[in-house]
Structure 1
Amino acid sequence: MKLTFRSLIACAALAMLAAGCENRTSDSVPVTAVSAPGSTSASVADKWLGKWRGPEATFLQLDGGNGKYEVTIRNLDGSRTFHGNAAGNEIAFERDGVKESLRATNGVETGMKWLSKKSDCLTVRAGEGYCRD
């Protein structure tokens, strides 16, 4: 079958139209589609399960797996838990109406001087990070 330029344009337009027809709500968090075992974003995030420590008795506890997570963050005001989903090499979650993401970093990338010498860390945003010893 010979493809013409016009048929390629038509196929591309149809694909974009189909992608734009997804039912989305403002409180949904994107989840990356998984196709090949062993290379999934969920397997990356599953390695992060457990407790990560921050300064002044703060911590992040990550539970769950296979792309669905419970993100418990203890800060100076107390502990709160959020539902998260694997999204690429991150875990996406919503906190106080703001879409956040958790990603692997080192201590310097957390933006926190107390963690600057650590090498195995998770960061939500600059100034909010947690590391393993």
Structure 2
Amino acid sequence: MMKKILFILSTLVFLSACDKEPQVSQPQPASVQATLVPEVLPTDKWVGQWVGVEGLSLTVNKDQSIGRGHYLLTMRYGLDDDASGTFKGVATEEGISFTRPDGPQLLRAGDGVATGLKWLTEKKDCLVVNTGEGYCR
């Protein structure tokens, strides 16, 4: 009689386990995925203050009004009074592309040697526009 009860109970347990449908997780909509795992652009790490030589400076901010991959670059890029301003930039594979009065430019990652400025040669974390124009942390 005990064997019969165990057999019936084990059969019921087996059948109840088979009755459940496997749970398959449904992919979340893209908007939910973006909030769960935000994608960070390499250029987002450049946000903040950067210092050049002889009073030159650069501040990189995200342009929240436009969205992801857009930046505002506030810079003093020369010694003349008119060599400063705030410029809109866009992330590219090479860096941040922007245009200022002296033409289209590309801000890219580099080191002190890449700036071409002897005062910055020891620096490791820099942003370079052209040889002779760089900003480091």
Q: Same fold (TM over 0.5)?
A: yes
1:70 aligned residue (63, 69, 72): 72
SS of equivalent to 1:47? helix
SS of equivalent to 1:84? strand
- Give the equivalent residue in structure 2 for 1:45: 43
Kindly state the Cα deviation for residue 89 of structure 1 after the two structures are TM-superposed: 3.4
Q: Which amino acid aligns with 1:110?
A: T
The Cα offsets for residues 102-124 of structure 1, whole Å up to 9 and x where unpaired, read as 00000001111111110000000
- Give the equivalent residue in structure 1 for 2:24: none
CA distance in 2, matches of 1:55, 1:116: 12
Q: Which sections of structure 1, spanning at least 5 residues, go unmatched?
A: 1-36
CA distance in 1, matches of 2:121, 2:42: 23
2:130 aligned residue (113, 125, 129): 125
- Give the equivalent residue in structure 2 for 1:85: 90
Kindly state the Cα deviation for residue 97 of structure 1 after the two structures are TM-superposed: 5.7
Aligned CA-pair RMSD: 2.2
Larger Rg computed on CA atoms: 2
- Give the equivalent residue in structure 2 for 1:61: 59
Matched residue count: 96
**Contact conserved, 1:45 with 1:89, CA < 8 A, in 2?**
no
Q: Which amino acid aligns with 1:68?
A: H
> What's the % identity of the aligned pairs?
46
SS of equivalent to 2:119? helix
**Contact conserved, 1:53 with 1:130, CA < 8 A, in 2?**
yes
The Cα offsets for residues 30-64 of structure 1, whole Å up to 9 and x where unpaired, read as xxxxxxx78x6x61000000010001121011011
The Cα offsets for residues 11-36 of structure 1, whole Å up to 9 and x where unpaired, read as xxxxxxxxxxxxxxxxxxxxxxxxxx
- Give the equivalent residue in structure 1 for 2:25: none
**Contact conserved, 1:54 with 1:129, CA < 8 A, in 2?**
yes
Q: TM-score, normalised to structure 2's length?
A: 0.63
CA distance in 2, matches of 1:49, 1:105: 15
Between structures 1 and 2, the one with greater strand share: 1
SS of equivalent to 1:119? coil
Q: Which runs of 4+ in 1 moved over 3 A?
A: none
Q: Which amino acid aligns with 2:61?
A: D
